Structure 1
């Protein structure tokens, strides 16, 4: 599933629609200045509440059954969660930063993930979260996160099994806010069939595939990390939200 291609196609469609429409009259200078100020505020305003993080010892938060998955409940305080949601929704609905996809809408910060990658500055409030992940030694300085996807899921909206792929350093941090959902990790079929061949060379069956599946709840304010086998040998998916709106921050380092 190529999310970057979907985003680029949606943006191209918007440009075509805008070009086909008649040009609107130029706004008064005061209105243009206000719009510029508003756009600056989106990228320069920090979180109103944030606490510096210390080193996170991962092993107590390891999820059994899959190497490389860690789940940290209550990584955010309630005030920090609210501060993040305030910055997400400071972007107006009609701002081009929001991209509507079939089962969710998203904001993409840091630039288009394509070679050659041209990194764009992250908003101030996202830099605070990035620094917290570095301070917690989730990411090292050499792979400091430089990209973030903010996904908004309404009731019934989720995402199908997918992999993040080779464009990123193989470590993902997902911060969940707003509502709960369920994440599922399941083995790549190609890896499982290869790994489960018996001595006669027969391919593994569907029972082997399902036995490698692991699901668990993603609570509000939690931090999910996955790396290693979980990144390279498993797909992950998010079930449809049952109530409310879930806003997730997927934070990674683009390594193109």
Structure 2
């Protein structure tokens, strides 16, 4: 992997690659996202999403073909060695309108322990937290006192989280329309931003590209009674 893209202010290991795709690629990808059939969208309370490649499941993901326009980026990210020589086979696409976010969560054991995300359309702040019950003492387990730091994720960037960042921390996005940057944003210089800046969110689409180890190939199921 490209060590010049490691963010030293975070835990191991974050790679942040600005301008991973061009503005033309970003426009093309957004066109494809919004050309997808309405049936591909799932509406949740704070956002809507599309699943490509299948639905990850503890018993195995039933593999579906990823369209060529997405497969190109699966291959591009896999070729960086992000998945330890394995190939990306799943893309989760989230649309966040201004004021929408996602609760602190972990991605869990269904995936190879690496998450890679291409952002389209808008920046966001990705916030990181210690899990509940890992703090010492009797302090209440609030989001506020479990909060550690943030990453500024700009459009067209690629973010890669591995190791402790993936396995030990929760990550989330606060539901707000503006972000005021502080020194708690550990990749300010890499993202070309300054502490004290206020950034206004617009609609962001994230392409989360992952490797699901446990799969069921449809061909194996054909012809079985």
Where on the TM-score scale, by shorter chain, does this alignment land: which range?
0.7 to 0.9
Q: Please, what is the CA RMSD of the aligned residues? A: 2.2
1:171/1:225 CA distance change after superposition, 3 Å: same
Partner of 1:244: 202
**Could you tell me whether the CA contact under 8 Å between 2:130 and 2:146 is conserved in 1?**
no
SS at match of 2:129: strand
1:213 pairs with one of 144, 148, 155: 148
**Could you tell me whether the CA contact under 8 Å between 1:171 and 1:227 is conserved in 2?**
yes
TM-score normalized by structure 1?
A: 0.68
Partner of 1:15: none
Deviations 1:105-141 (A, max 9, x none): 1110111111132221111111100111122222343
Q: Name the structure with the higher helix share.
A: 1
In the TM superposition, residue 241 of structure 1 has moved relative to its aligned partner by 5.6
1:135 pairs with one of 74, 79, 87: 79
Q: Which structure is larger by alpha-carbon Rg, 1 or 2?
A: 1
**Could you tell me whether the CA contact under 8 Å between 2:5 and 2:17 is conserved in 1?**
no
Partner of 1:187: 130
Partner of 2:103: 160
**Could you tell me whether the CA contact under 8 Å between 2:6 and 2:13 is conserved in 1?**
no
Aligned pairs for 1:6-45 (under 5 A) are none
1:127/1:241 CA distance change after superposition, 3 Å: farther
**Could you tell me whether the CA contact under 8 Å between 1:185 and 1:236 is conserved in 2?**
yes
Distance 1:90 1:82 in 2: 12
Could you tell me which runs of 5 or more consecutive residues in structure 1 were left unpaired when the two chains were aligned: 1-55, 197-202
In the TM superposition, residue 67 of structure 1 has moved relative to its aligned partner by 1.4
1:144/1:187 CA distance change after superposition, 3 Å: same
**Could you tell me whether the CA contact under 8 Å between 1:180 and 1:241 is conserved in 2?**
no
In the TM superposition, residue 61 of structure 1 has moved relative to its aligned partner by 3.0
Aligned pairs for 1:67-106 (under 5 A) are 67-92=12-37, 95-106=38-49
Q: Name the structure with the higher strand share.
A: 2
For CA contacts below 8 A with separation 6 or more, give which structure has more relative contact order: 2
TM-score normalized by structure 2?
A: 0.76
How many pairs are equivalent?
A: 189
Partner of 1:39: none
Distance 1:149 1:107 in 2: 6
In the TM superposition, residue 169 of structure 1 has moved relative to its aligned partner by 0.6
In the TM superposition, residue 186 of structure 1 has moved relative to its aligned partner by 1.2
SS at match of 2:116: strand
Could you tell me which runs of 5 or more consecutive residues in structure 2 were left unpaired when the two chains were aligned: 178-200, 215-225
Distance 2:138 2:27 in 1: 47
Q: Is it true that 1:112 corresponds to 2:71 in the alignment?
A: no
